[in-house]
Amino acid sequence: MPKQVLLVRGGALSSNTGIGGAHHNLATSLAEGEISGWSTSQVCEYPLRRRMNPLSRLYKRWFSHPRKVEKKTRGEHGLTLLHITDQEQAHLIPENCSLPVVVTVHDLFHLCPQQIQIGDEIIDVGEQKPGWFRRKDLQKLRDGLSRADLLVCDSQATLSACKQHFPEIKSVCVPLGLRIQSFTPVAQDSVDVLTPARDFTKKCHLLIVGSHAPRKRLEFLCKVLGELEEEVKNSIQIHHVGNEKCPFGGPSASAHARAHKVLNWTSHGGDVSSEALMHMRFASEALLFPSASEGFGYPPLEAMASGTPVLCSNLPSHNELMPDDTCLRADDKEAWKEAILSVHSNWKNRTKNDTEHSWPKPRSGLIEFATRFDQSRFCARMAEVYDSL
Per-residue pLDDT tens over the stretch 308-342: 999 999 999 999 999 999 999 999 999 999 999 99
Phi, psi for residue 82 in degrees, rounded to 5 = -110, 125
Average pLDDT over residues 68-78: 90
Query: Do 33 and 161 lie in a common domain?
Result: yes
- Report yes or no on whether pTM surpasses 0.75: yes
Residue 285's domain comprises: 181-372
- Name the pLDDT band for 52 (thresholds 50, 70, 90): confident
Query: Do 227 and 326 lie in a common domain?
Result: yes
Residue 51 is predicted with a pLDDT of: 81
Query: Do 321 and 208 lie in a common domain?
Result: yes
- Whole-number average pLDDT of the chain: 96
Average pLDDT over residues 75-86: 93
- Name the pLDDT band for 17 (thresholds 50, 70, 90): confident
Residue 341: CB partners within 8 Å, gap ≥ 6? Answer: 228, 232
Query: Do 52 and 173 lie in a common domain?
Result: yes
Query: Do 76 and 211 lie in a common domain?
Result: no
Query: Do 231 and 97 lie in a common domain?
Result: no
Number of domains in the chain: 2
Residue 42 is predicted with a pLDDT of: 86
Residue 38: CB partners within 8 Å, gap ≥ 6? Answer: 2, 3, 4, 5, 30, 80, 81, 382, 383, 386
Q: Please measure the distance between the N-terminal and C-terminal CA atoms of the chain and give it in whole angstroms.
A: 17
Query: Could you tell me the CATH number of the domain that includes residue 188?
Result: 3.40.50.2000
Residue 47 is predicted with a pLDDT of: 92
Query: Do 9 and 129 lie in a common domain?
Result: yes
Instruction: Assess contact for 277 and 256: CB atoms under 8 A.
Output: no
Query: Do 297 and 253 lie in a common domain?
Result: yes
- Name the pLDDT band for 44 (thresholds 50, 70, 90): very high
Phi, psi for residue 331 in degrees, rounded to 5 = -100, 5
Average pLDDT over residues 67-81: 92
